[in-house]
Structure 1
Amino acid sequence: MKRTLPFPLLTAALLSACGGPGTPGTAASARPDKYAGAALQPLIVGGTISARGARPYQVAMTDTTGFQYCGGTLLSSTWVLTAAHCVKGTAASSIRIRAGVNKLSDSSQGQTVGVSSVTVHPSYSSSTNFADIALLKLSAAVTNSYAAPAKLPSNTVEGILDVKGKYAVVSGWGLTQGNNNSSASDDLREVSLPITPNPATCGGSSVPGNTICGEYYQGKDSCNGDSGGPLAQTYNGNFYVLGIVSYGPSACTGNGVYTRVNGYLSWIAQVSGLTPDGTTTPGTTTTYTGSVSQGTSSYKPGSTGFSYAGGTLKATLSGPSGTDFDLYLQKYNGSAWADVASSESGTSSESINYAAASGTYRWEVYAYSGTGSYTLTETK
């Protein structure tokens, strides 16, 4: 049974056909998509419960009711990496990200934020599972103390960590057994698996390019509900996301296939500006437009700001002739926004060049006098 329906289309009839709690479903010949099964039980196969904060990069994807159905990896305070099949055809407004959480039922754990945009890789194929990768832009910055981004694997790190026979950790809230025959648990779980990068086959079946095979090992595997979550490893004290849970056999007993993140670094940088060292691509320019009336402010890219790993932030402002628009760069200190740079020349043309530490920033355009439209050009 091929499960490729997007989450909003998971009907009661489909869940019944797949098997609900206490009702084992019919074994499928393949598990090309681990997404639909998340509606049944949230556990990983053969794993152990993760210690609180041990996987700070792991996020849960939920609907607007808080129902968890996929996982993801926090790449920065405002970007999440996940599988294309988790979000294809799904509106951003219907997705929530919960970061810094281990036990889903504990409402005191974690931070829930919305998603402002969904970008699926243009080469994604639901029939072959090629390019099963997507990026989510969050509508607010993640600031939870139990949440922290994982790094993208550079070619150097890839050559050290993503090697046949090495082990990597997959985590999530997916099924603990295959065929939907699991007992319920809402704890984040993890398992360490031997891996093979860019295999021709995984478990005897051919696989698309740019994948990693999680080899069969003591019956351990990711399973339905873990989709989109991280296959990660540590190096020099940092977490690196090597793969994304994509698909595998229906019994969830090893030979899982993971999208190989290193193969999509240029696309990730193009969409998010993030690179393997955690900084934005030098020279990335973005142009914002807006309007502001006298005595009021306008914020870009929005009031919640953007995450920045550190470097030089530049911006030029151009407003209507005869107005006095001022430009400010603000940084969020955890409880409030504070000005860190300003340009107040008495005209509508302003510029800022600021050496910024890592943090969450936003641009403020303030109309000291006059009203009208403006253009703000940002370079990171």
Structure 2
Amino acid sequence: MFGFWTFCVLFTATTAAVLNQPSQFVKINGESLPKNAFTPHLKLKPRIANGNRAELGSFPWHASLAIKYRIDGSEMDPTFCSGTILNEKWILTPAQCIKGAKAIRVDIGSVDINRPLISVYPDAFTLHPQYDNSNNKFKNNLALLRLPEKSKLDFTKSEGRYAPIRLPTRRQVDETFEGMESYFSGFGYPSIHSTNVSEHLLFAEQVIIPNTACAAYYGNDLELVTDKVICSLSVNVRQGPCMNDAGGPLVVNEFGTHTLVGLLSFVHEKGSCGRQATPAAFTRVTKHFQWIENVSGYQFRP
């Protein structure tokens, strides 16, 4: 058996009925988290798995999430994930990141994890109704964070430092995006030996590969690498997602404009942190149009 580090059928009438049901929102108590929500004596590192340093405004859709959990009645230390700004009210992130969350802080508008331009607190979140991580299968690994009215983002005041991402068009619902210029960003650990997240936002150029090629790395497990997953390899084999990179957005460059195609879901343990050239797997956004639209009201392009 191979292991994983989490970065936590045909469309039938039954599936449609589930997605059309009213969303189940989990209220968040609004508890504030300190600006540095991580263990204070750990020194932050300047790079992540040999990634490239992002310039301010180059990935304005990237949001960092500080998350505090309560599991089985016990409060856990805060941890970290990434999210993507969908619009002024909604943040996309993997379900594995926020299931069981007690408090969440969303930081945006900066490439320095300790100096966000804006910090906002969602008032609720909802998991995809068919999310299932039993047996580490990461099925429908997607969630939406809702910002309260008083904290809605005003993009006219962002000076280009934060902005919503563009989603694919309805015509692209079956697009594979294979071979397209793409990028992944995150604040995750600099290496497998690191003890904390990166201080600076980093990115790595990716190449999107066929799912059949991706599945070969995962024992041809077609319950894991389904059509709801999109996979990529780093162009520089020494680069790669690491711990706490969950939710990092995968975007493709479409004639100079970036489009979100995936959110980091899982990676093979042998290839994490740039140790080997193995593909990372992302939740494929195009397979979740209906749910995103039903919950957020997002208006997809034709």
Q: Deviations over 1:103-144 (max 9, x none)?
A: 0123xx420111021110111111210111111111211233
Instruction: Specify the SS of the correspondent of 1:115.
Output: coil
Cα offset, 1:156, TM superposition: 3.5
Cα offset, 1:99, TM superposition: 1.1
> Is 2:275 the counterpart of 1:264?
no
Instruction: Specify the SS of the correspondent of 2:80.
Output: strand
Q: Read off the aligned partner of 1:150 and give its amino acid letter.
A: I
Identify the residue that residue 174 of structure 1 maps to in structure 2: 188
Cα offset, 1:59, TM superposition: 0.3
CA distance in 2, matches of 1:212, 1:271: 22
Unpaired stretches in structure 2, ≥5 consecutive residues? 9-37, 69-76
Cα offset, 1:184, TM superposition: 5.9
* 8 Å CA contact retained: 2:125, 2:143: yes
Identify the residue that residue 130 of structure 2 maps to in structure 1: 123
CA distance in 2, matches of 1:111, 1:31: 33
- Of 264, 271, 292, the residue aligned with 1:245 is 264
Structure with the greater alpha carbon radius of gyration: 1
Normalising by structure 2, report the TM-score. Answer: 0.72
Cα offset, 1:68, TM superposition: 5.7
Instruction: Within 5 Å, give how 1:10-89 maps onto structure 2.
Output: 29-35=2-8, 44-63=48-67, 69-89=80-100
More relative contact order in 1 or in 2 (CA 8 Å, sep 6+)? 2
Cα offset, 1:30, TM superposition: 2.3
1:236–1:215 distance in 2 versus 1, CA, 3 Å: closer
Q: Read off the aligned partner of 2:232 and give its amino acid letter.
A: G
CA distance in 1, matches of 2:58, 2:216: 29
1:225–1:198 distance in 2 versus 1, CA, 3 Å: same
- Of 178, 201, 209, the residue aligned with 1:164 is 178
CA distance in 2, matches of 1:30, 1:110: 37
Identify the residue that residue 338 of structure 1 maps to in structure 2: none
1:159–1:51 distance in 2 versus 1, CA, 3 Å: farther
> Is 2:200 the counterpart of 1:187?
yes
Aligned identity (percent) is 25
Corresponding pairs, count: 242
Q: Read off the aligned partner of 1:101 and give its amino acid letter.
A: S
Identify the residue that residue 276 of structure 1 maps to in structure 2: 300
Q: Read off the aligned partner of 2:164 and give its amino acid letter.
A: P
* 8 Å CA contact retained: 2:188, 2:198: no
Cα offset, 1:165, TM superposition: 2.3
Q: Read off the aligned partner of 1:171 and give its amino acid letter.
A: S
Instruction: Within 5 Å, give how 1:179-218 maps onto structure 2.
Output: 180-181=193-194, 185-196=198-209, 198-199=211-212, 201=215, 203-205=217-219, 206=221, 207-209=224-226, 210-215=228-233, 217=235, 218=237
* 8 Å CA contact retained: 2:180, 2:252: no
User: Which structure is higher in strand share?
Assistant: 1
CA distance in 2, matches of 1:74, 1:230: 10
Identify the residue that residue 13 of structure 2 maps to in structure 1: none
1:197–1:87 distance in 2 versus 1, CA, 3 Å: farther
CA distance in 1, matches of 2:211, 2:238: 22
Identify the residue that residue 220 of structure 1 maps to in structure 2: 239
Instruction: Specify the SS of the correspondent of 1:76.
Output: coil
Identify the residue that residue 162 of structure 2 maps to in structure 1: 147
Unpaired stretches in structure 1, ≥5 consecutive residues? 1-27, 279-380
